[in-house]
Structure 1
Amino acid sequence: MLQLQFIRDNKQLVLEGLKKRNFVADEVIDEVLQLDEDRRKLQTELDNTLAESNKISKEIGSLYKSGQADKANELKAKTSELKDASKTLGDSLNEKAEALSKLLYTIPNIPHPSVPAGNSDEDNEEIFREGDVPTLNKNALPHWELAKKYDIIDFELGVKITGAGFPVYKGKGARLQRALISYFLDKNAQAGYLECQPPHVVNEASGYGTGQLPDKEGQMYYINQDDLYLIPTAEVPITNFFRDELLNETDFPKCYTAYTPCFRREAGSYGAHVRGLNRLHQFDKVELVRVEHPEKSYEALDGMVAHVKGILRELKLPYRILRLCGGDLGFTSALTFDFEVFSTAQDRWLEISSVSNFETYQANRLKLRYKDESGKSQLAHTLNGSSLALPRVLAGIIENYQTPEGIKIPEVLVPYTGFDMIS
């Protein structure tokens, strides 16, 4: 959530930043500033009214002590009026504050200056590419056909049990999935991230804290009876470890990694581009989350990008990195780099990771602060990244490592799988 003081002091900068997102904000920002002005005036009136009431109450006490009961009783009528006025002002203040809060929740983060302008993913900027695209035999198959051929992923069984988007992994497919999870977690732990196992459901406050609510409410699975949400990513519970926390500068950085299943409704996703593992309602992901000092957050972001690069190099998968344009940038992000693996069998790029810096946007929602050298409270920066999302990594491995004899296992994963071929 954007800070009110920042909006007041940098109105034009905010409007220009939101325009880069194609978010027309003139009326919204004007309404925010008006509500804030009204709220501050009401707060001043309420403070003055309460101060006057306290002053008169002290006078009443003195009058009673000095035997001037008649004058004291006259003033009591005045305090009753002030009490009623205070209640009215307090109610109005709460209404303004609630309206202001709701409006601020609808405003996305300001993009970093390096974010390019653009309307959609077609305008994203490719900044890096590495790895050789393999040459497959003429009978090469997409992963959903390979999964059926080698009986490693059963999409139809998932439909029978639950519905589309809930595959069943079997045999060596399940073991390869587990191997990837263990490999990713080991790599992250070696890089200094503390492994944890967070809850897979969160409350409403957690959803608001990281920005999934109210922006992506329709994309989250909701448990009505308990007023809880299935997590769309481990980012949500882990970042909320720090909700309402006050850190010291010496506490930075806070680095966590976790494997969790992720749940997304993905409403309106249909067609061949979401076939097989390309788009699921339940999928596995290993996540990175960092809480950083503001002066170190972009250095940390570069480190996260380099870390994901290293994993993809070890897997020997061809990949590229995109800097997301304003029109494709996530609601809470200031800067995001997407990693995409090339699927030779599908002849297309598949997104497998997003690494983002949210700057103070989530921290402001979370009330996540630290004490600086002067003892003043400041907002921290939060970051997160996929390391990695499994479905499309698995799809890339199955497709790019296929041979006429079967599917080879990347060398780095063999110690985890215990086999080097699916046939």
Structure 2
Amino acid sequence: MRWGSVLRLFAVLIAVAVIAVFSVQPVLPNVSWLPLTKDIPLGLDLRGGVHVTLEAQSTPDAEVNQDNMNQLLRTIERRVNAFGVSEPIIQQEGRNRIIVELAGIQDPDEAVRSIVKTAFLEFKTEEGQTILTGADLKNAIESKDSLSGQVEVALELNAEGTRKFAEATSANVGRRIAIILDGQVLQNPMVQEPITGGKARITGYADLPEAHTVAVLLKSGALPLKTEVIEKRTVGPTLGAESLDKSLKAGIVGIIAIAFFMIGWYRLPGLVANFALIVYGLIVMAIFAGMHVVLTLPGIAAFILSMGMAVDANVIIFERLKEELKSGKTLRSAIDSGFKRAFVAILDSNVTTLLAAAVLFYFGTGPIKSFAVALSIGILTSMFTAITFTRWMLHNTASTGIKNSKLYGA
């Protein structure tokens, strides 16, 4: 027996055990026994949130058509993403309706007000002449003066806006220029001197969150159509949590059954495959946490499906290994040959699945995209664990001196 190989295997077992114990913790509602990385955000079906249906209406200035609806969708998406909502669902329904689903929103009413607010910015002279609008804005960001403690929104104008503002302030020294948002005068300062730097400030906010909301609205641009909320409801996570609990229990039973089957049919390689599945699960969860993949019920379904494909890859490899051992090859030669001959079949099945996931991601929305992303991550990870980690484990197992072909399923 080669003790170097034994020590390597033992070190890997200890490392994976430590990672499994200390890097994961239960976070899902009503599933206190489920270990999951705490940094994985939850979707609307698991975390709850708000569901809003918006209806666009024609006005004398803008008619409801597909171009305006596309612009409306983009504007709402920019606003929602700026509020830091995890994987919002924003999609058109029919000719003039938009569905918005936001997970984990603490104040649904404020979120809805921010989504549908027109946010039309104007700079007007004392004569009522509009010299600038939100279209001349390049950026807006909230800030707090370190000396006075005053909360403000700093505006940065684009090149055309800078030119207009310089001309207007030069012509109105000693007079007032009002800053107006949705018809409400925010400030009416007096111009002391020409402003040529293309920057302005809006003050008078109670705190940074209020200023942040205004900055987000200004950066996203004004809505191109009049929009009204025709339905708003809070979505609770209860139904999703119950479905998740049942799905996970069924998944645990299935995984245990697979583990016993792999050990009973393939013996020592089956034990290696079961350990590789644990590593596979930890890697997938680490990727989910690192990429901030939003976990939904479809995402969990994709994770279980990709785990099944990981098992399938090991089955193909071990069947080839058995055939190679039956043909009289040595254990190490049989392992190398089995992996080499199984690789083409594994690559083919995984590539076709990845192509299907790419189609789902490109044409799908919301939960369908979540399913596609989770499936793609799972497939790529399963290929890594099956082709590299399982092979490394089998080579080290063979190096320990355990070479009885019966222990390898033959």
TM over 0.5: no
Name the structure where strand makes up a greater proportion of residues. Answer: 1
Task: Provide the TM-score with structure 2 as the length reference.
Answer: 0.26
Name the structure where helix makes up a greater proportion of residues. Answer: 2
Rg (Cα) greater in structure: 2
Task: Provide the TM-score with structure 1 as the length reference.
Answer: 0.25
